[in-house]
Structure 1
Amino acid sequence: MTHDSQPDKNLCATTEGSLVIHAKKVLDHVLDHVFDAVIMASTDGRITSFNRAATRIFGYTHAEVMGQNVTLLMPEPHCTHHDQHIRHFLGWGENIPSSRSRELVGKRKNGEVFPITLVLTSVEQNPGDWVFIAIVQDLTQDDATLRNLRSTAYSDPLTGLPNRLLLMDRLSQAIRSLNRESPGIALLFVDLDHFKPINDNFGHHVGDLVLRETSARLQSCVRESDTIARLGGDEFIVLLMGVENPLSALGIGEKIRETLNAPFRLESISPLTLSASIGVTFCQTHAIDAESLIRQADFAMYRAKAQGRNTVASYTTAQDLR
């Protein structure tokens, strides 16, 4: 019986070996089709498995990282602990958490540092012999998505200028910062004269070009600390910071008016000549809200239109009595 059982033992060993090889192939196939990076490392932090997503995220090929310390994938200061246990380099000491998510930064092959989410788990194969499994998500796309969402929420899609929502936020902050010792702020309401005929005669495409060119010209008239916003249509608001007196604000209004008077040379059509009616209000106190300040500039703009357009008019308290 003993002699006859030896082939059975060899057959069992062969079968078990085949099952292990088959299981590893299945595991490798699964890992290579997972969207997140899955990286396995030994007790001393040497990489033993690196799936396709890890290659895509970090830029290294499988052959380039096998046997390397996982600190290869982490920027300073982590990589200064190259010879330490993986638990130490990740900052968890001797306590390895189970499926705990942590936001860190990774380093690609090209040296780029980028945000990641790391979930680290561990399996003890033999006493003292651990396999560490790191699941890594690249947060770069999430950051880009958030930036795009913020841009969509706070900017005008046609000109890229701040929209009313962002203007209100900046204007409210500017008002709150005012005190007796500080310079004031000024608000200019810019409305293009006779803009509708441009859309009617040349099409909305040309009208859009005019609005983009207008935004560029407005930006050329102010400082980086100032804000230009598009309220919609052909209406723009200019928020001037650190204005000493109303005359300074009127001076910027005249500069804008003259800049917009220059011919608009667009595509194949003849140069267009435009003008703008500009209302100006000056503020040196925080005892007013953003909506009221915009309303004052709007009143002044209509005063400019009543004076024949292509002019700059300042707000006076008498306008509130109309």
Structure 2
Amino acid sequence: MAGSGEHFKALVRSHGSGDDDAFYSVALQVAAQAARQGHHRLAADLKAAVDNSRVERPKKVTSIAQPRGDLSDLVIASHPMVGLKELVLPEELAAQVRRVLSEQRQRKQLLDHGFEPAHRLLFEGPPGTGKTMTAAVLAHELSLPLLTIRLDSLMSKFMGETASKLRVIFEAVAAQRAVYLFDEFDALGGDRAGNDVGEARRILNSFLVFLENSSSESLVVAATNHRSILDKALFRRFDMVLNYSLPDAKQAAAVMRGRLGSLARGLRWATLDDEMTALSHADLVRAAESAAKSVILAGGTRVTADDIREALRSRQAASLG
């Protein structure tokens, strides 16, 4: 019979995870093996079936426990293309990201010895400092979909049903391996000692229970700009807390240089240290893009220090405004 046991297991895994590309790839491997064994009719039929499916079936968007109705508004599925080498972080923080990747890549070895890989992560720091990008990098490096849950919408639309919706999400965490990003997490995790209501307390308690018992099959990432308002009970439920901050001059130059590429060749970044202070990663990228577009539209091939300085000052003014 054409097709090995490993092929059939791979077919089941790819179908279960919704990875059409992997499914078709394995199916074509089975077809190739059938051809080598002399089953040319079977091989041709399999290849034709794959070709027809690719034409007739629209590209599948990764689902999260078959979301329907209002829940579908809370989930954004994506397949990020940004890699680890594009992530500019302080070395200590970068080492933490590499540690998460290492544990996830060797998760089977850890599980075989009774240890779970780090899979409950809290990212905290000012806006635009790389929290969401880190989640995207984790997804890309691990070849997983990124599923973003917007808790601000969850709280405002479904106040009476949030706990049940959270249960559905965490059931998906166990059923479908992915990176689950709870963005703007402070909407849910605010300090319960303040002007809290009973419903919000029950929601947070539900989240803590779900998080505590969450499957290590997936990564659950909570991102917040406001660590100070988070309930302290949250921190001990996470395997790792990653603290983000505004980049220093060296990191800022690396961020802009990475975005500008060859347009920045020969630029003396040290002359721009003062202008790059107090800007987030996002602001620096936007400044680099602004300077690059101005030069390209003017017919130039390189940005100058003055081009960058003008763009940086514009971003500084915008952030102050």
| TM-score, structure 2 as length reference | 0.20
